[in-house]
Structure 1
Amino acid sequence: MAGRERRTERPGPTEIRSQLVRTELLKAGAWIGLALLVGACIILIQPILLIFAGIVMASMLDGGTRLLGRVLPIGRAWRLLIICLSLLAFLAWAILFAGSQIADQAATLQKVVMAQVERLAAWASDHGMGNVEIDAKTISDNIAGTVGRVTAAVGSVVGAITSLVMIVVLGIFIAIEPRLYERGVAWMLPMRMRGDFYITTARMGFTLRRLMAGRLLGMLVEGIGTWLACLAVGIPMAALMGLLTGLLAFIPNIGAIVSGVLLILVGFSAGTDTGFYAMAIYLVVQTVDGYLIVPMVAKQTVDLAPALVLGAQILLGALLGILGLALADPIVAMIKVALEREAERNADAAPVMTKAAESG
């Protein structure tokens, strides 16, 4: 109707037309989102660590599958199945044939270690170093406080077994088709960032496979070498010492110190000569691992400074518990690869930006 008065639409109270206000709101939203992301990571740190441990497990399975492919030209799925069945067979053998012996030795290990610690405390008191009273509860409480309490879910036997099963299952699923998950993460990124993401993940995968290959080789050499050497010189609980040394070799620096202390304490429990033999075994095994295996692997992976790794282990162990301590080395390696790729990308972009500035 011509005579009808037209209504004029006016902006509502929620519409923001000021460009300055919009920019400031976007900045505030970005900072709030970052704070929420950090808070979510703190709350969900346990599953995040388990997922990363599953990725580490997948890298080991994938590395074994690739290595087997060099000598066995069959499909990837069959090679992965062979690796998984071999791992399962080894675990079954260890439990059935060596489990009872190791269990018996583990039952006496705590008594032997505590007896040696009490002897050291008595020696310190006799030489005027104060009245030192040490018991098993004090040591366990101090260790629990040192390695943090964030990952309390792995503090019990049931929690540790459940976490281990989840890590293995997650690792198998990722190792079956790693490209599927890589494409899924890339799909959530902008198109311009996907090429750089694929390059970075490829380098991370290569580094993680080589790093874990060296770690497994070191565990094997240290475990078997310690076991055979302990048998040769008559150190008690040789099988358990070899197993603990091999397992603790997964944690560089700190694992070697802990295994060395246990080995020397057990050695001196059988006599002074046996204790010196234990010290010699520890030095020889660590020398072989530190000067032969680690440099050989480090040439083809990231070369991490020992102080950097040790600092990360102290920090992540105190904040995130035993999982953070065990995964500190792979986490630092992945961060270094990402930073190196970012520096490389910036270096490639610098000449282009300089040329564009000069032409402008």
Structure 2
Amino acid sequence: MSESGDQSLTKGLGASPARISSPELRFEAWRALTWTTVVGLVALAVYISQSLLVIFGAMVLATMIDGGSRLLGRVLPIARVWRVSIVLASAVLLLGWLTIFAGSTISQEAAQFPSIVQEQAQQLFGWMRAQGLQIDIGMVQSMGSQAASGFGTVTRALGGLLGGITTLVLIAIIGIYVAFEPRLYERGVAWMMPRERRSAFLETASRMGYTMRRLMFGRLVGMVVEGIFTYAMLVGYGLVTGDAIPMAALLAILTGLLAFVPNIGAIISGVLMVLVGFSGGAQMGIYTIVVYFLVQNIDGYIVIPMIARKTVDLAPALVLSMQLIMGILFGILGLFLADPLLAMIKVALEQRAKSKDAEDEAALAAEAGPMENAVA
């Protein structure tokens, strides 16, 4: 059959049944497809949210390693791979020393810690009942166990000892790979984007990395300051009065580690410190309350403001809300990563607003040019 015959046959068949001839129907179909795609992407993000959170945790770890490498590069001008290796070796040595110290010095204290906390909690509940409050310890324990079991229902695979260790190993492996060659992965993500969006993405990624490095550096400084200051104050009480506060080293380590989680971490460490303090008497308990407020005031009015001027300033209520949401959805891992994730979202929104303002200014300048030429 000739080509003209094929064309005539095609015309005779009419429009394809898959083609919508009405513009209004095409618009509605396109809108329905768009909403279906958005809902599908959201469902996919929820389904793989655990993996996404692990990847983000690896990015946070890689940023911390990269920050240490950059600081080391100011005093030791060697290749990046060697600086990253030195940072990793130093971190391994520090963790090894902390493990040995914890195993040899505070292992017995750690074994006694739960019993002391439980005893003080029972005394507190007894005092509350004496004041006329109806407190049932069994009911409180049941509520606590229910809250613990429901805390992080979305990612139960992260729960448990084996799941937690596996998650930490994955975060460490991915973070180390990214820390050695961050530009490789950055260019790879940029390559998958439209050409006109690549420069904006690279600028936003650079700003995010800059902010994350300073945020994590400030967080580490706060952890060290709180841990050392708490240990010095608790040991100093024993040197002055002769009555040593039990578990001073353990409380200092817990205070330093929990300082990584703003707001909630300070409350937990303070409650534990005060409960242990009152196990040695009212005077010791009051002293631990004073130590807690001194530590938090130094961190809140000296360390955090100095850090906030160098990084992104987040409202405390917004941080606490993000922590509650991430904690309910993702458990302990979400609680630890809530603050960095919120900071990155804020940086992305600020960069987007800045890019939009630049586009508006360019459009206004383009419109003003022909008008000025016409007037001239």
Which bracket does the TM-score occupy, shorter chain normalised? over 0.9
Percent identity over paired residues: 47
1:232 equivalent to 2:236? Answer: yes
SS in structure 1 at match of 2:211: helix
2: distance between equivalents of 1:5 and 1:142? 76
1: distance between equivalents of 2:219 and 2:138? 34
Structure 2: which amino acid aligns with 1:200?
T
1:101 equivalent to 2:105? Answer: yes
Match of 2:9 in 1: 8
1: distance between equivalents of 2:132 and 2:5? 103
Match of 2:253 in 1: 243
2: distance between equivalents of 1:280 and 1:88? 35
What do the CA deviations read for 1:190-225 (whole angstroms, capped 9, x no partner)? 111111111111000000000000001111111122
Matched length: 359
1:282 equivalent to 2:292? Answer: yes
Are residues 146 and 313 of structure 1, via their aligned partners in 2, closer, same or farther at CA, if it must alter by over 3 Å?
farther
Shift of 1:109: 1.0
Structure 2: which amino acid aligns with 1:274?
M
Match of 2:240 in 1: none
1: distance between equivalents of 2:87 and 2:245? 34
Asked if the contact 1:114–1:136 (Cα under 8 Å) also holds between the matched residues in 2, the reply is: no
1: distance between equivalents of 2:16 and 2:317? 60
Q: Which stretch shows the higher mean deviation, 208-217 or 218-227?
A: 218-227
1: distance between equivalents of 2:39 and 2:319? 28
Match of 1:111 in 2: 115
Q: Gaps spanning 5+ residues in structure 2: where?
A: 238-243, 372-376
2: distance between equivalents of 1:178 and 1:136? 48
Match of 1:179 in 2: 183
Within 5 Å, give how 1:292-307 maps onto structure 2: 292-307=302-317
Q: Which stretch shows the higher mean deviation, 46-55 or 309-318?
A: 309-318
1:40 equivalent to 2:44? Answer: yes
Asked if the contact 1:210–1:301 (Cα under 8 Å) also holds between the matched residues in 2, the reply is: yes
Within 5 Å, give how 1:52-201 maps onto structure 2: 52-134=56-138, 137-138=141-142, 140-144=144-148, 147-201=151-205
**Greater helix fraction, Structure 1 or Structure 2:** 2
1: distance between equivalents of 2:105 and 2:155? 31
SS in structure 1 at match of 2:310: coil
Shift of 1:102: 2.8
1:353 equivalent to 2:363? Answer: yes
2: distance between equivalents of 1:323 and 1:217? 21
Shift of 1:319: 2.4
Structure 2: which amino acid aligns with 1:328?
A
SS in structure 2 at match of 1:327: helix
Structure 2: which amino acid aligns with 1:349?
E
Give the alignment partner of residue 326 of structure 2, picking from 316, 321, 326.
Answer: 316
Q: Gaps spanning 5+ residues in structure 1: where?
A: none
Give the alignment partner of residue 220 of structure 1, picking from 218, 221, 224.
Answer: 224
1: distance between equivalents of 2:89 and 2:135? 54
Give the superposed CA RMSD: 2.1
Are residues 252 and 13 of structure 1, via their aligned partners in 2, closer, same or farther at CA, if it must alter by over 3 Å?
same
2: distance between equivalents of 1:161 and 1:55? 18
